[in-house]
Structure 1
Amino acid sequence: MPIGPDETASANKTAILAIILISYVMIVLDISIVLTGLPRIHAELGFSDAGLAWVSTAYTLTFGGCLLLGARAGDIFGRRRMFLVGLTIFSLASLVIGVSQTPAVMIAARALQGLGSAILAPSTLALLQTSFEPGPERTRAVSYYAAAAGVSAAFGLVIGGLLADGLSWRVGFFINLPIGIAMMMAAKRYVRETERTPGTFDIAGAIISTLGIVALVYGVIRSASSGWSDVATQAGVGFGIVMLILFAVVESRASQPIMPLSLFADRERSAAYAARALFLGANVGFYFFVAQFLQSVVGLSSSQAGIAFLPTTVVNFIIAMSAPRLIGRYGAGKVLVTSVVTGLIGMIWLSFAMQQASLLTLVIPMMLVGAGQGGALGPLTASGIVRVPSERAGAASGVVNVAHQLGSSLGLGVLVAVAAIGSQGLQGTELLARRASVAMETGSILIALTLILAVVFMARPRARLLEK
């Protein structure tokens, strides 16, 4: 029996969704896959304690700093083309990371990998918007996209731990090359090029925004080791703030801005961007500190620490996969608020549980944090692109991803800096336990702020945000 056009279109959309999700999983996975391998990377490459944070931050920083430029490139040159360019850069940088022998090479390659992600990520979300019609079809696609972010972040810790102990932390980066090549071949076959939008690059906006984000995050991270009285710390934070203010001025006057300020005219979208940054800042800090706590305080190996995250990962996955049905029944607003509250309870619980060097006291709060992630990211993603015209899909996707990565890098920097306050005189496991506990307390504050934004701007009765 011949295959009908509807069945062919459905098969093609399934292939497109698979390509988008696998590529996005690669991006997010590489944020977390190194965390359980950090102790081995620290010893093997000779990182300093303060410099170790840059293994994560170099990636998220260039990712967030270049996202707006990557999104604009997709609008102008075509999203499939930039998808392929980003995937190529990402895959080659992964290879360099896998063979790196010094901290400098490792950090430089992680930064280059972040650049590839900055080009790739906006294209994945924009292709999803243009490939799936509004309504139930897009609801499922966006939910799976958001689930990929949460689940792969948690799953990366498990993979990273098993690889660090069983083979090498390097293997996690080597496997990106064959997967990247396979996705490029599949994209050429199944993904159609999008219509290009005539225009020019807002080079001034791209440079100023990148300088501002880099300087701000550098200053915050430096404060952890040098303190807030340090001149370089103050200069970095001050310069970053000035650059970001200048960026807003430049964008208000640009004929074709890299980040149209009109995207922030919608209160729901603006709140979603801020809420996403706060939520991700807390949750990336959760993975960063808990992974080290499990190894350095509880005494687990890298693989054991990765396995210890499995309850978090499983709950995250179950809730994320159930999100479309839950949203259809209760509304996106209620699902979002309930998820954020669940994550907040888990984070507060963790801050107390970390005062004991026991894995059993951590399991339930870690599961609550995973449940919060699984239910919150879908509605936050939908609210970030709601009511956006198709010609602005790339720009809106870029801002969603900027909020995600800026929240990750700046949030981690803030948690590292705050965790270092008042820890003078402490040593060994006592020092690490106190820093982890303080980081969870700070993360709880960030999630509480997320909850306020969700209740005030996104939790409308009977809202069906994912269907808009």
Structure 2
Amino acid sequence: MPRAESPAVPLPGEVTPDQRAVPPALRLTALATGFVMAALDVTVVNVAGSAIQEQLHASLPELTWIVDGYVLVFSSLLLLAGGLANRLGAKNVYLGGMAVFFVASLGCALAPNAAVLIAARLLQGVGAALFMPSSLSLLVFSFPEKRERTRMLGLWSAIVATSAGLGPTVGGLLVSAFGWQSIFVINLPIGIIGMLLTKRFIAPSEVRATKLAVPGHVLWIVALAALSFALIEGPRLGWGAGGMLASYAVLVVAAGSLLVRERRADNLVMPWSLFSRPSFAGANLVGFLFNLALYGSMFMLSLYLQHARGATPFQAGLELLPMTIWFPLANVVYSRISARFSNGALLTVFLLVAGVSSLTMVTVSEETPYWVLAVAVGLANIGAGIISPGMTAALVDAAGPEHANAAGSVLNANRQIGTLVGIAVMSVVLGTVSDWNRGPALCFAVIGVAYLAAAVGAWLMIARAEQREAATA
């Protein structure tokens, strides 16, 4: 099978003296704004779900499309966006993505019904897919000195983790004070600041003539769209309905055509040869299952706290805070312990912790004290704060420096697909089981099993590979 080209890495020498004189905080802020908006819009909408359902008269499948439609477009275009950044320049693509996201956010805030909101969310996904990979490329390019770049990458990761962790709380506060539209309005000043700072203080990166695998990306998008339709609309239409059978057929044909195309083409959608490395394949398996469990859990919990326990959006945001605040804190812990323990070992242990903690909630009911729920989910999310950087480090180690950018794009796309499937599966369970206590209990079972399956994969594919490498070193 032909090997995919690695995305071009900008040459550090292209940074001008004027660019070096720009305060690092301004450059970091410029490039973090895009990622912050992307991270917030995966989590902040969850808390607003109940209000959106009520005011727009949206069904559960429509609400799932509002959340998952964004993730669908986001995940399906990430790999293509990386190629566009090489071809058009990372700065141009980053600014273009921010502009699209800005317009889409305005459209979300003004949406008069669920259909328009879904369409605007799809457009948001386009913008996020454009600026997300370019953000990391520009960060690496803007800080050519290794020590400073490492420090800035750590700060950048902490900002993103904090945004994701605080997303439900921020969303609950905004919805309670200003209505659900405010969760999209907040993107407007953030977007303006990001675009102005980027245009003024970020130097353009090198442009390379890269041939885009457009047919492959189209098949990839069609396959993911068919999968999303099947998962989200199945409970409403019936799994054997004509529309569902058509979606199954489209999924099989698109996926099969993509596999055939990838075996024969020179320019590939993703570097398939890297999957022959156990640690690389293991990191992607962990990434998919981890995001499925984590974001599926956050989607379900936001609805559960409001529907089953009568919380307002603000109360739900506050109640979620003790469960999500661990993301950035655990990131710091990882930086302290990563030198003492292998990534495979850390992933295995903390995925086991997350899985067991989640499974303790399979008996959740209206009599379950809030603090028990908070402790169980909080323990799982402490693991999440270790797992996220651990899987990324394992992937980069497996891919090697020459494939680092391509590998990162694959992992990000794979994790977003996990988010897409996780939210859809939670919606299927909640839609099938009308009891708002029994439904979440079944969801916790799915979440726990996903974490435990990821732990097995981390041990067999990553930890053992690391042990073999250590034995031959």
Q: TM-score, normalised by structure 2?
A: 0.88
Q: How many residues align?
A: 453
CA shift at 1:91, angstroms?
1.3
* Match status 1:22 vs 2:26: no
CA shift at 1:180, angstroms?
1.0
CA deviations over 1:309-329 (Å, ceiling 9, x no partner): 111232222111222112123
Equivalent in the alignment of 1:247 = 258
Amino acid across the alignment from 1:55: I
Distance 2:274 2:440 in 1: 37
CA shift at 1:396, angstroms?
2.8
* Match status 1:452 vs 2:452: no
Question: Quick one: structure 1 residues 369 and 298, their matched pair in 2 at CA, closer, same or farther if it must change by over 3 Å?
Answer: same
CA shift at 1:304, angstroms?
0.4
Equivalent in the alignment of 2:443 = 439
Task: For 1:151-162, list aligned pairs within 5 A.
Answer: 151-162=162-173
CA shift at 1:165, angstroms?
1.0
SS for the counterpart of 1:309 is helix
Gaps of 5+ in 1: none
Question: Quick one: structure 1 residues 192 and 398, their matched pair in 2 at CA, closer, same or farther if it must change by over 3 Å?
Answer: same
CA shift at 1:389, angstroms?
6.5
CA shift at 1:90, angstroms?
0.8
SS for the counterpart of 1:351 is coil
Equivalent in the alignment of 2:134 = 123
Equivalent in the alignment of 1:109 = 120
After superposing the two structures, state which structure 1 stretch, 106-115 or 63-72, moved more.
63-72
Distance 1:128 1:266 in 2: 28
SS for the counterpart of 1:299 is coil
Equivalent in the alignment of 1:218 = 229
Amino acid across the alignment from 1:459: A
Equivalent in the alignment of 1:364 = 375
* Match status 1:88 vs 2:99: yes
After superposing the two structures, state which structure 1 stretch, 245-254 or 57-66, moved more.
245-254
1:23, 1:180 within 8 Å by CA — same for their partners in 2?
yes
CA shift at 1:134, angstroms?
9.5
Equivalent in the alignment of 2:9 = none
Q: TM-score, normalised by structure 1?
A: 0.89
Amino acid across the alignment from 2:447: G
CA deviations over 1:113-166 (Å, ceiling 9, x no partner): 001011111112333444556976665555555544543233111011111111
SS for the counterpart of 1:41 is helix
Distance 2:469 2:333 in 1: 15
Distance 2:416 2:357 in 1: 23
Distance 2:257 2:149 in 1: 37
Equivalent in the alignment of 2:7 = none
SS for the counterpart of 1:178 is helix
2:287, 2:415 within 8 Å by CA — same for their partners in 1?
yes
Task: For 1:346-425, list aligned pairs within 5 A.
Answer: 346-354=357-365, 356=367, 358-386=369-397, 388=399, 392-421=403-432, 423=433
After superposing the two structures, state which structure 1 stretch, 431-440 or 204-213, moved more.
431-440
Amino acid across the alignment from 1:38: G
CA shift at 1:243, angstroms?
1.3
Gaps of 5+ in 2: 1-15
CA deviations over 1:185-215 (Å, ceiling 9, x no partner): 2222332222222222211011110000010
1:71, 1:397 within 8 Å by CA — same for their partners in 2?
no
CA deviations over 1:208-234 (Å, ceiling 9, x no partner): 100000101110112232342233223
Equivalent in the alignment of 2:245 = 234
SS for the counterpart of 2:325 is helix
CA shift at 1:342, angstroms?
2.2
CA RMSD of aligned residues (A): 2.7
* Match status 1:327 vs 2:343: no
Distance 2:21 2:363 in 1: 49
Distance 1:397 1:73 in 2: 16
* Match status 1:336 vs 2:340: no
After superposing the two structures, state which structure 1 stretch, 37-46 or 253-262, moved more.
253-262
Distance 1:96 1:279 in 2: 31
CA shift at 1:50, angstroms?
2.2
2:216, 2:261 within 8 Å by CA — same for their partners in 1?
yes
2:74, 2:126 within 8 Å by CA — same for their partners in 1?
yes
CA deviations over 1:375-411 (Å, ceiling 9, x no partner): 1101112233335576755533321221121111122
CA shift at 1:349, angstroms?
2.0
Identity of aligned residues (%): 27
After superposing the two structures, state which structure 1 stretch, 278-287 or 309-318, moved more.
309-318
Amino acid across the alignment from 2:138: L
Q: Please identify runs of 4+ aligned residues in structure 1 that moved more than 6 A.
A: 133-136, 462-465
CA deviations over 1:38-57 (Å, ceiling 9, x no partner): 11111111212321111101
After superposing the two structures, state which structure 1 stretch, 161-170 or 408-417, moved more.
408-417
Question: Quick one: structure 1 residues 361 and 212, their matched pair in 2 at CA, closer, same or farther if it must change by over 3 Å?
Answer: same
CA deviations over 1:270-307 (Å, ceiling 9, x no partner): 22122111110111111111111111111111100000
1:121, 1:401 within 8 Å by CA — same for their partners in 2?
no
Distance 2:35 2:48 in 1: 21
Question: Quick one: structure 1 residues 383 and 242, their matched pair in 2 at CA, closer, same or farther if it must change by over 3 Å?
Answer: farther
Distance 1:53 1:215 in 2: 15
Distance 1:196 1:30 in 2: 30
